[in-house]
């Protein structure tokens, strides 16, 4: 049984405008990694934004556990049912790693007697050394910042994890380390992990590879400017 289902969904930025996505249907299960691949401009990041309820579809629906996410409280959905790992991390620069994760739990309404302890344990499990926990996040390396972003996304135990090019700014060694963490989240913790990526290595490590062009019934056309 699917955890998340996209039902005949279309999206255009303006009413009556050109549809970026058209009549998309797909299902996603717990305990699997999905790699969403395709050409630039085909709608991968747009689809991820829709799955995160950061954008609303022009037509159709997205269901999680049988409920239309856009007919409920989308803020609550984003703060409890889905964790988002952005390409550029989107960490709060004036806070350290622990504070970034604690804030995420605060927003989700997590009731724990010691959130700092939970955040510290989570960050250390993802490879952040004790010395780096209280440094401003901008002083951390790209791989460390990505780990903080992942800790923040899973700190409130959402069943769905969405990641937009999570290793796009990282070297090959760090990419493999980050993918090991995603693998653990899906296959050990049972989360549904959906990753937008251009990396062939990440796509090869996923349980399911989905080409956005195969989901999208709209014919994809490259907008190539004429040679002047």
Segment 90-109 shows an average pLDDT of: 93
Per the DSSP assignment, residues forming a β-bridge with 11 are: 21
Q: Do residues 44 and 36 make contact, with C-beta atoms less than 8 angstroms apart? A: yes
Question: Helix 142-154 and helix 97-108: axis angle, to 10°?
Answer: 20
Record the tokens describing residue 2, joined without a space.
């699917």
Packing angle, helices 115-125 and 97-108, rounded to 10: 120
Q: How far, in Å, CA of 218 to CA of 228, rounded? A: 29
**What is the Cα–Cα distance from 96 to 210, expressed in whole angstroms?**
36
Rounded distance, CA 23 to CA 70, Å?
Answer: 17
Start-to-end C-alpha separation, the chain: 53
For the entire predicted model, the pTM comes to: 0.89
For residue range 6-45, what is the model confidence (pLDDT) as tens digits?
A: 999 999 988 767 888 999 999 999 999 999 998 888 899 9
DSSP letters of 161-211? EEEESTTTTS-HHHHHHHHHHHHHHHHTT--EEEEE---HHHHHHSSEEEE
% of the chain beyond a pLDDT of 70: 94
Q: Are 217 and 41 in contact (CB under 8 A)?
A: no
**By three-state DSSP, how is residue 36 classified?**
strand
Instruction: Give the Cβ contact number of residue 211 at 10 Å.
Output: 15
Task: Specify the range with the lowest mean pLDDT, choosing from 26-30, 123-127, 197-201, 216-220.
Answer: 216-220
E strand residue ranges, the chain: 4-12, 19-28, 33-37, 59-64, 67-68, 82-85, 160-164, 192-196, 208-211
Instruction: Tell me the helices (H) and strands (E) count for the chain, helix number first.
Output: 8, 9
Q: Has residue 225 got a pLDDT over 60? A: no
Q: Of 111, 36, 41, whose CA–CA distance to 80 is shortest? A: 111
Per-residue pLDDT tens digits for 46-92: 999 999 999 999 999 999 999 999 999 999 999 999 999 988 888 99
């Amino acid at each position: 049984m699917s955890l998340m289902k996209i039902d005949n969904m279309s999206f255009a930025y303006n009413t009556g405008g050109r549809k970026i996505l058209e009549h998309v249907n797909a299902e996603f299960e717990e305990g699997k990694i999905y790699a969403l691949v395709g050409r630039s401009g085909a709608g991968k990041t747009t689809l991820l934004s829709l799955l995160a309820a950061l954008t609303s579809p022009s037509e159709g629906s997205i269901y999680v556990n049988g409920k239309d996410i856009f007919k409920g409280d989308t803020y609550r959905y984003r703060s409890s049912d889905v964790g988002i790992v952005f390409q550029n991390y989107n960490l709060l620069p004036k806070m350290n790693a622990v504070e970034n994760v604690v804030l995420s739990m605060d927003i989700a309404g997590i009731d724990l007697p010691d959130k700092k302890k939970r955040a510290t344990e989570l960050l250390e499990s993802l490879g952040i050394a004790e010395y780096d926990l209280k440094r401003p996040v901008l002083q951390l390396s790209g791989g460390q910042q990505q780990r903080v972003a992942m800790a923040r996304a899973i700190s409130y135990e959402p069943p769905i994890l969405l990641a937009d090019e999570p290793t796009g700014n990282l070297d090959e060694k760090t990419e493999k380390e980050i993918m090991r963490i995603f693998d653990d989240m899906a296959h050990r913790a049972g989360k549904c992990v959906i990753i937008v990526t251009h990396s062939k290595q990440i796509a090869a490590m996923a349980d399911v590879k989905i080409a956005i062009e195969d989901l999208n019934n709209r014919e994809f056309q490259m907008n190539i400017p004429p040679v002047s």
